[in-house]
Amino acid sequence: MASLKTRSAAVAAAVCILSGWLTCLPVFAGQQAVKIVVLGDSLTAGYGLPITDAFPAKLERALKDRDQSAIITNAGVSGDTAAMGLARMGQSITQDTDAVIIELGANDMLKGFEPNVTRAALDAILRDLEERRIAILLCGVRTEPNFGNEYKRAFAAMFSNLAKEHNVLFYPAFDEAFVDDATLKLADGLHPTTAGVEAVVAHMLPTVEALLDRARQRHH
């Protein structure tokens, strides 16, 4: 006669299968869900879109389709500069966070901030996360301000240099997948449509999977 413990396990497995709860699967596979926070501005917040079409939600679903277990929190705030993102880190990055995707700097560029101002805020964010042993993916942006090519190159170099100095994963331009395609942008010409978000997710998936690997390694 089966033991009560064996019966309980069988019932739990049946409930998982019958209900279709994908969140049950990692428990049986021994893979704990990686908790990711996307610290960003309107590009990740989902400006002009249903929250289910925002980057964090789309990314979580794409990872699950690839049998990757992740819980992704949307900590994007429209209008935020890098300094504003830094100021709310205590609120946005909870203690149980395993990894953070940083997408900040687009508003700094639109406002004409000096790259060193943005750099100082991002550097402080990176140092804080490193002290907490949180895996990091830093994203640059290719937002097109009207301050000339030299200004854009200075920002691009700032992002890449920070990533090298801190030895973190780097995605050179979050908006690369849609910035040059009007059909993937909203009428304002700055923010992605749902299809634009999907393009970003498709381009970033390999880098995000590398982030998951780093997060899991830090907990072994």
Q: Which residues are part of the catalytic machinery?
A: 42, 188, 191
- 54-63 b/e (C-beta count within 10 Å ≥ 16 → b): bbbbbbbebb
Assign 40 to helix, strand or coil: strand
30 burial type by CB count under 10 A (0-12 exposed, 13-18 middle, 19+ buried): exposed
What are the percentages of helix, strand and coil residues in the chain, rounded to 5? 55, 15, 30
Residue 33 CA to residue 11 CA, distance in Å, equals: 22
Give Cβ neighbours of residue 172 (< 8 Å, ≥ 6 apart): 139, 140, 156, 159, 160
Question: Which helix or strand (DSSP H or E) is residue 84 part of?
Answer: helix 82-87
Residue 204 CA to residue 152 CA, distance in Å, equals: 22
Assign 14 to helix, strand or coil: helix
| Type of residue found at 94 | T
